[in-house]
Structure 1
Amino acid sequence: MTEQSEGKELVITRVFNYPRELVFKVWSEAEHLKRWWGPKGFEIHVAQLDFRPGGLFHYNMQSPDGVQMWGKFVYQDIQAFEKIVWVNSFSDELGNIVRAPFSDLIPLEIRNTVTFSENDGITTMTLCGGPVNATEEERRFFEGMFDSMQEGFGGTFDQLEEYLAAHS
């Protein structure tokens, strides 16, 4: 079953001076993901990565002051070098979906699609995300967080840019 996002979606586009195959690859392997995914300054530990439709990315994020949070992706669709679709959620260490530790109004599940296109060795990456099975209150809260999420993903994608520069 493929869930569709509901309401307005967060859309973020970034351009990287690297080939699409490389940008896609760093989304698809644990060794790469743990080095750039997540909030700036957090350390990522990968519990599991099964990069296929129906597979799972389960990870732990630790803040600089030692606070730990778990998250997971459940992959829905993967088209090599073109698109990755997953449902993202906070989880416990066993992979069960839990509320975000900092807000009861963040939707339990966010469906994300990231697409990759290339022109002359330059990759345009677009992330679109929106809540799944959310209440009206959760949808409004999610939409009210767009500026904060733009900033957060901006930091994550800055880390991706730095990682690509060091590994190309």
Structure 2
Amino acid sequence: MTQNLATDSAARAAPDDGSNRFATLTFERDVAAPVAVLWQAWTAPAARAIWAAPSPTVTVEFLEADTRVGGREVSLCKVEGQPDIRCECGWLALQPELCSVNYEAISSEGATQSVALVTADISGTHERSRLVVTVQLSSLAQDMEAGYRQGFGAGLDNLAGAAERTMVLQRVIQAPRSIVWGAWMNPETLPQWWGPEGFSCRTKRIDLRAGGEWVFDMIGPDGTVYPNHHRYGEVRPEEGFGYALLWGENGPKHADAWASFEDQDGATKVTLGMVFSTAAEFQEAKGFGAVELGLQTLGKLERFVASR
């Protein structure tokens, strides 16, 4: 489980009058997940939407989410009976699996409350990782240090918990991104290759747009039928999309997932990530070979693209 390596700390750079306008906050977390998984949980918009709310009484609505240098993330933090809090995040630097830098501006009812520079450093191994987040905070309308310490700390606890039940699969496919995207987001071609070796798909409904869904059965080599329902969230053409995985049509959700597509010297790096709803479901999926089966699915995608 998550372990705080050091108490979340604050080193103030305030005037002698006792003002807390400026503060440097440091948060450290030790996470029982590989570095590659923690990086995806920290940066992937679908994953960030899962852990962003600091408590169950807070709802976070994402209005924009573009995790790339120069990209922006805008969200509304909502608490019943209180004005919405707007958070704008802009990505300034991204070094995969190593470091990210972003600015963050918090406002309410049109008034800026604070601005901050957020630096995240990631290190570790294929089994465990360490996250160190430094927040250089400037409070404007009011002293925001206590709120940042509590809210950011709780969010990072959520992040660590989500990372520990996240599965990430990656494959470099020797085809242009437009071709790979087209094979995935085409209702005629997706059912032709989706699923592990020996599995086939029987589609009931398919609409691969934002707000759309795919209701289908996966049929195993022995004829066993596995009902599935994918509900699609944001879709960014040739870049990525997020979706929820349900146990059968309108059944309980067992994971939030995303797929991203990156150019890599004429090839396409595909990342498929899944945050399981519970740690038990994550362990169960690992136990029946979900990683190997998922990699088989991406292998079928590569063969399908090569055959076109």
TM-score band by shorter chain is: 0.7 to 0.9
Q: Which residue of 2 aligns with 1:159?
A: 300
On the 8 A contact 1:30/1:46 being kept in 2, the answer is no
The answer to whether structure 1 residue 96 and structure 2 residue 250 are counterparts is yes
Of 268, 278, 302, which residue of structure 2 is paired with 1:123? 268
Identity of aligned residues (%): 26
Runs of 4+ with >3 A deviation: 143-147
The answer to whether structure 1 residue 28 and structure 2 residue 185 are counterparts is yes
Q: Which residue of 2 aligns with 1:114?
A: 259
3-state SS of 1:126 partner: strand
As a proportion of its length, which structure holds more strand? 2
Structure 1 or 2, whichever has the larger Rg, is 2
- The 5 A counterparts of 1:48-59 are 48-59=205-216
Cα distance in structure 2, aligned partners of 1:15 and 1:47: 30
Shift of 1:63: 1.7
On the 8 A contact 1:61/1:69 being kept in 2, the answer is yes
| RMSD of aligned alpha carbons | 1.9
Cα distance in structure 1, aligned partners of 2:208 and 2:281: 30
The answer to whether structure 1 residue 142 and structure 2 residue 142 are counterparts is no
Shift of 1:144: 5.8
Cα distance in structure 2, aligned partners of 1:43 and 1:67: 11
Paired letter, 2:236: Q
On the 8 A contact 2:229/2:245 being kept in 1, the answer is yes
Paired letter, 1:16: I
Cα distance in structure 1, aligned partners of 2:258 and 2:283: 17
Unaligned runs of 5+ in 2: 1-45, 52-161
3-state SS of 2:305 partner: helix
3-state SS of 2:229 partner: strand
Cα distance in structure 2, aligned partners of 1:7 and 1:69: 27
Unaligned runs of 5+ in 1: 99-107
Cα distance in structure 2, aligned partners of 1:109 and 1:77: 19
Cα distance in structure 2, aligned partners of 1:24 and 1:73: 17
Q: Which has the higher contact order (CA 8 A, sep 6+)?
A: 1
Q: TM-score, normalised by structure 2?
A: 0.45
Structure 1, residues 10-54: CA drift from partner, whole Å, max 9, x if none?
111110110101111111112211111112111211111111121
Range with bigger deviation, 153-162 or 139-148: 139-148
Distance 1:141 1:62, change over 3 A: closer
Cα distance in structure 2, aligned partners of 1:146 and 1:77: 27
Q: TM-score, normalised by structure 1?
A: 0.80
On the 8 A contact 2:187/2:207 being kept in 1, the answer is no
Cα distance in structure 1, aligned partners of 2:291 and 2:230: 19
Paired letter, 2:209: R
On the 8 A contact 1:114/1:125 being kept in 2, the answer is yes
Paired letter, 1:66: G
Structure 1, residues 54-84: CA drift from partner, whole Å, max 9, x if none?
1101111112222112101100111000011
Cα distance in structure 1, aligned partners of 2:180 and 2:283: 28
On the 8 A contact 1:29/1:49 being kept in 2, the answer is no
- The 5 A counterparts of 1:42-81 are 42-81=199-238
